[in-house]
Structure 1
Amino acid sequence: MASILSGCRRCRPAGFVFAHVRRVEQQGYPAGRIIYEFSPVWQRKTFLLQFLIKILRWTVANIYVLINLSISNAWLAASIHANQQLLAAHNIDLVPFDSANADFVPFNISFWYASAGEPLSPALTEKLDTVQSSLDAGRSVLFLGQSADLNIQKNFFAFIQKYLCTEIHSVIPLIIMGKPTLCMEFWWQATPQGVSENLADKWINYAKNTSQLVLQAQDEWDKERLILIPYLHDAITQNSITEISYLVFKLLGIDDIPHIAAPLPFYYFTNTASALRLLEARQVRHNDWPPLDNTSYMAALQKLDQNWGPEPYSPLSYRQALLENGREDQRKLENLLDLPAHSLDAPDWYGTLPEMDASMSLKSERLHAFAETLTPPMRNILLQRFANDHDFLSEDQKALASALAAMEGTEFKRIEEAQEQPVLTVLTMTRNHEKYIGSCIEGVLAQKTDFPVRHLILDHYSTDDTPQIINQYAREYPSIRPVLLNNYHCIYQNVHDLFIRCNSEYAALCDGDDYFIDPCKLQKQMDFLKSHPRCSLCFHPVAVVFEDGQEPGVFPSRDMLPRGIREEYYLSDLFKGNMIQTNSVVYKWRFRDGLPAWFRHDLCPGDWYWHLLHAEQGKIGFLPDIMSVYRRHGSSLYKYSFINRLEHRRKFGMAELETYHAVNEHFQDRYLLPLAKLANGVLCDFLEIFMKEGDKHFLDLACESYPKFGKFFLSQLTLTNQPPVAQEVPK
C-alpha cells in the first residue's frame, strides 16, 4: 500500500493530526478508484475530526483558502472547479472566478492581486458581495489561488481581514507544498514566449524562500487551523491528481468521490517540452476551427508524455543555482511539513540535464507515434486547420502536418488550391453575439456579386452559442472561414489575428452585431472603386437602430460630412472626425502582404485608424445609399457614448487619446492641430469630471501621458467666471 503523502506525519487541521494516509482498492468501485483509509492508530481521531468539521461547517460558515504551491496547481483547481455542485451540496461555495480565464485558469486572481488599501473596482465589489452573501446565508466559501510572492500573499491576507468578517468566520488555509525546484521548472514552461534575466532571478528568489510563505501564513492565521499538505510527485499524472484531489475533499469534510477533470489544453498539464510543443501545434495562431476534441487530444498526448522522459525548459545554470542556494530553505520547509530529510530533493536529472533547445526539430519518432495515437477524424481536422492557415505554420506544425498526412496516406495540400480565390473579403469580429451573428452572416451571403467573396469571421472566445452558430454556417457555406480564438487573449489581439488572414484585393468590414441590408452593397462599392481609381476606400451612410426603443437615426448625418455631401473626400476631412461607420467601408486592402511592424492593432477606436491608413493612399469615395444597419444595444462596446458621455470617457477616454497619439506619430506631426482639437473633446470631459466630482485623476494622467495635447488644451482654456478681487477693508 502506497502512502500518498510519502512519509507525511502531520497535517494539522483544528489541532488534530493525520498520519499515514494509505491508498487501498475496494470492491465495488470502478477500476483505478482510490479510497483513503487512515492508519488504525489515528482512525478514532480522524473520525472525530471529520465529525467536528462537518458539524462546524453546517453551523458556522468558514472561509477556506486553498493555496497550492506545487505542480498540481492548475489541474487540481480544474478538478475543484468541476465539482462545484458537489461542494455546494456540502454547504461550500466557490468564490467567483475571473470569467475571462475560468475555463483555463480557474483561480480567484482578482482577489489575490487586490489591495486592501485601494478602492475596489465595480467587478471586484460584485464578486465580494457574492462571497458575503454566501457567508451571511451560513455557507462556507473556498478561495483558489497562490502566489510565490510574499507581498502578494500578505496583501491577500490583509484583504480578507479587511473585507470579510474573520472575527465571525474562521479562516482555514489549506497549503499544498510541492518541490520548489519543480515549481520553477513549471513556471518556465508556462512562459514559452521567453523569460528575461530579471524574471528568472525573481523566480529563483521565490523558489529559495518558499518556507517564508508558510511562516507568513502561520503568523497571520491560527496555527491550529492551518493544514499543510505535501505533494511529492515529480510529474503530473491522472493518478497523482486523483490522489491529491481525494485528499483535499476529505480535508473539507466531503466523503463523496469527486470527479477528476480531464487535462485541459493549457500550460501546467504536460510534463515534457515535446508535449508542450505538440499542444501548441494544434492551433495556428490561436485558431480553434474546425472544432477539435481537446479532451481526446490531451489524452493521446498524455499517454505518450509520461514515457518521453524529462525535457527541461529552464536553463541548467539556473537550476544549478537554485540547488546551491535553496538547500537551507528546503530543510526548513521539510521541518515545517514534518517530512524526513531530503523528501523535497529535486529529481536526479534536475542538476545535470541541459535545457531543451527550442530551435531543434521535434523527434520524428515522437511525431509519428503521436500521429498514430490520434483517431482518423482528429488527424483530418488537424490537416484542415493547417491547410486553412498554411501561410502561418510554425516549423512544428509543418512537421506534424507531414506526419499526419503520411499516416493518412495523403499529400498535404492547401485548401485554397482547390478553391476560387476571393477578390473581396468581409472581415467580421464578434464576441457573445448569439442574438445577432446570424443576421450578419445572412447579410453577407445575400450579396449579389460578379466576383468571389470570402467571409472571415473571428470569434473572440465567446461564452455563449456564437461559435456554434458560426460553425454551423461554415459547414454549409465554404465561403465562410471561421477563426475561433480558443482563449480570451489581449482584447485587441483579435484585430491582428483577423487582418493577417486577409490577402484579397479588397476588404469590407462588418462587426458581428451589425448587418448589410442591400444585397448589391458590395457590388456597388466595387464598381465605384474601379470607376474611381484615385479612391482607395469608399463608404456610405448607415441606419442606426437602438434596441431600447429610441428613434432610429442615420450615420453620418449631413452636418457631419465636411463640406456637405460630395462624391469624394480627402484625408484631411477624416481628421475632422470619424464620419465612416465600420460596416459601411470597402478598402483597396493595403495589407495584402501582411501587417507591417509599425501597425498598431491595439487602438480604440481602431476603425478610424484603419480608415486613415487607407485614406493615406488615395481619396475617400462616398455613395449616398443607406446599405447597412448599425445596432446600438446594451452590450455594445460604445454603449455609453449616446447615453452617458462622462461614463463613456471614463472607460475609453485614455484609449482615445492613445489613438490620437499613435496617429500623430504615424503622420509625424503633420496633422497635430486637428488631432489636438479632437483630443480637446476628451480633455474637456475629464475637466468636467474634475469640476463636478473633484476627481482629477483622469485629467492629470492625460496631460502627463500626452503633453502635446495637454499643452494645447491648456492654451485654449479661458476663465468665464473670474474670482472677485479682494477689496481692502476700511479701518
Structure 2
Amino acid sequence: MIAYSKKEKLNEKEVLVSISCLSFNHELYIRQCLEGFINQKTNFAFEVLIHDDASTDKTAEIIKEYEVKYPEIIKPIYQSQNQYSKGVKVSSKYNWSRAKGKYIAMCEGDDYWTDSLKLQKQVDFLEKNEDYGLVHTNFDTYYQDSNYLLKNTHTVYNIEIKDNCTLNYWNLFGEAMATIKTLTACFRYDLIKEWQTVTPENKWLVGDFPMYFFMSLKSKVGYFNESTSVYRTVPQGSLSNVGNDFNKKLNIRKTYVDIRLYFFEKYQLEENKFKKALVRDFNILFDFTILLDNKSVLKEYLDKFGTINKQKPSNKLYKIYLKSNSRTLQRSIQYITKIKLFGSTYINKLFNLKFLISTIKRKFLQ
C-alpha cells in the first residue's frame, strides 16, 4: 500500500473516492490541508476536487503548485467571482457534480487530515458493510488564536456517539462539537445524489446536519472512536464561531428549528422519540428572541410551536414577555432568561474534568 501521489498516471475510471475541498482565503492553511490528502496511503485511486472561491490572497497560487505537481489527483476550479456570496451551493454545483468516485470524503481548506490511513480504513469498512452508507470518526480541535490542540474532541466533551443510531444524531445536533464533523466523514455518492433530489428549497444556515441525518434515515452510520483529522477554529472563520453575536446565534437557532420541523413532518418521525429535541430547540430559540427583544420572531415561532399537536411551551414567560408592554417586567424576564441560558450552557461542563482542564490550558497556559 503506497500513497497514490507517487504512482504512475491513473485512469479516471479507477477513482474510488472523490475528496471535495472548498477554499477561500486559506493561504495560511491550504498547504497543510493538501498534504493531508496527498499523504493518504491507499490501494485505490482518489481525486481531490478543490474549489477556490475567488480568494484574494495566495491560496490559488498554492493550489496551482500542487495541481502542477500532482495533475492526476488535484483537480481545481478557480473562480474569478465569489460564488458563495451569490447564494450558490458550491459543493453540489462545482464539486459533487464532477465526482468520479463511488465514495465522497470532504475537508475544507483550513482543516486537515492527520491519519494517512483515514480513507483506506473508511473505504474498507464501507466495502465490507453494504448496509452502511456513511462512516465518520473522532477528531482533534486546533484553536488557532491560542495555538492549542485539543485531542479527541468527542471524548473530552463526553459525547457518546452510538453506531447506527438515528435518534442519537438527532438528539446531539446543536450540541457543542457533537455528532458528525464533515472533515471526518466518508459516504456513498449514491446517498448524496438521492439527497439532492429531495432537498427542499430553504434558507438554512446549516447544510451538514440535514444531509447526514437524511443519510442516517436511509442507511446505517458507522463511527470510529479514533482521531483522523484536525478541525481548526479561526476567529470569524466559520458559522459555528459566532462568539457573542446573539443575532447570529438567533439565526442559527431558527435554522435548527426549521430543519427539525422539516424532518419531523416530512418523514413522520415518532413523537415519543424525536419530539423532545425539537421542543428543546424551540425553547432555546425563544430564549434568544427574549434576549434580543425580537418579538416578531418570538410570535412567529410560538405559532409554529402550537402546531405540534397543540403543544404549549413549558415556560409561560415567553407569552408573558410577548404580551407585556412594561419595560421593567421585560428586563426582569431577560435577566432570568440570561441566567437560564448560562446555566444550561455551562453547568454540565463545570462537572466535566477533562473539559475544564483543556479550557484552562487553552485560556491561561498557552
Tell me if TM exceeds 0.5. Answer: yes
Q: How does 1:207-606 map to 2 (within 5 A)?
A: 419-477=12-70, 478-489=72-83, 490-497=86-93, 498-549=95-146, 552-553=149-150, 554-557=152-155, 561=159, 564=160, 568-578=163-173, 579-591=179-191, 596-600=196-200, 603-606=204-207
Give the conservation status (yes or no) of the 8 Å contact 2:46–2:101: no
Give the conservation status (yes or no) of the 8 Å contact 2:18–2:104: yes
Cα distance between partner residues in 1 of 2:305 and 2:316: 21
Give the conservation status (yes or no) of the 8 Å contact 2:142–2:230: yes
Q: How does 1:34-49 map to 2 (within 5 A)?
A: none
Change (3 A) 1:436 1:711: farther
Residue 264 of structure 2 aligns to which amino acid in structure 1?
Answer: N
Name the residue aligned to 2:283: 684
Change (3 A) 1:596 1:547: closer
Cα distance between partner residues in 2 of 1:682 and 1:476: 48
Q: How does 1:185-204 map to 2 (within 5 A)?
A: none
> Paired residue for 1:694, among 268, 289, 293?
293
* Count of residues paired in the alignment: 301
Shift of 1:456: 0.8
Residue 233 of structure 2 aligns to which amino acid in structure 1?
Answer: R
Shift of 1:515: 0.5
Change (3 A) 1:653 1:417: same
Residue 294 of structure 2 aligns to which amino acid in structure 1?
Answer: D
Change (3 A) 1:421 1:705: farther
Residue 670 of structure 1 aligns to which amino acid in structure 2?
Answer: L
Name the residue aligned to 1:259: none
Shift of 1:680: 4.0
Change (3 A) 1:483 1:675: farther
Cα distance between partner residues in 1 of 2:104 and 2:305: 33
Give the conservation status (yes or no) of the 8 Å contact 1:455–1:479: yes
Cα distance between partner residues in 2 of 1:417 and 1:627: 26
Give the conservation status (yes or no) of the 8 Å contact 1:456–1:482: yes
Name the residue aligned to 1:49: none
SS at match of 1:587: strand
Cα distance between partner residues in 1 of 2:292 and 2:309: 20
Change (3 A) 1:675 1:647: farther
Cα distance between partner residues in 2 of 1:657 and 1:698: 12
Change (3 A) 1:551 1:707: farther
Structure with more contact order per residue of length (Cα contacts < 8 Å, sep ≥ 6): 2
Shift of 1:609: 1.7
Residue 287 of structure 2 aligns to which amino acid in structure 1?
Answer: E
Give the conservation status (yes or no) of the 8 Å contact 1:545–1:632: yes
Shift of 1:639: 4.5
Give the conservation status (yes or no) of the 8 Å contact 2:16–2:100: no
> How far does the alpha carbon of each residue in 1:506-536 deviate from its partner, in whole angstroms, 9 at most, with x for none?
1111111110001111111112222333321
Cα distance between partner residues in 2 of 1:431 and 1:584: 20
Change (3 A) 1:447 1:639: same
Name the residue aligned to 1:315: none
SS at match of 1:574: helix
Change (3 A) 1:647 1:703: same
SS at match of 1:716: coil
SS at match of 2:62: helix
Structure ID, larger Rg: 1
Cα distance between partner residues in 2 of 1:711 and 1:465: 55
TM-score (norm 1): 0.37
Shift of 1:670: 1.7
TM-score (norm 2): 0.71
Name the residue aligned to 1:630: 231
Cα distance between partner residues in 2 of 1:425 and 1:600: 25
Shift of 1:592: 7.4
Give the conservation status (yes or no) of the 8 Å contact 1:676–1:709: no
Shift of 1:699: 1.9
1:662 to 2:262 alignment: yes
Change (3 A) 1:507 1:418: closer
Alpha-carbon RMSD across the aligned residues, in angstroms, is 3.3
Residue 587 of structure 1 aligns to which amino acid in structure 2?
Answer: F
Change (3 A) 1:463 1:595: farther
Cα distance between partner residues in 2 of 1:599 and 1:427: 19
Residue 114 of structure 2 aligns to which amino acid in structure 1?
Answer: I
Shift of 1:538: 0.9
Shift of 1:675: 5.7
Change (3 A) 1:719 1:447: same
Structure number with the higher helix fraction is 2
SS at match of 1:625: strand
Residue 82 of structure 2 aligns to which amino acid in structure 1?
Answer: Y
Identity over aligned pairs, percent: 21
1:653 to 2:253 alignment: yes
SS at match of 1:454: strand
Give the conservation status (yes or no) of the 8 Å contact 1:506–1:589: yes
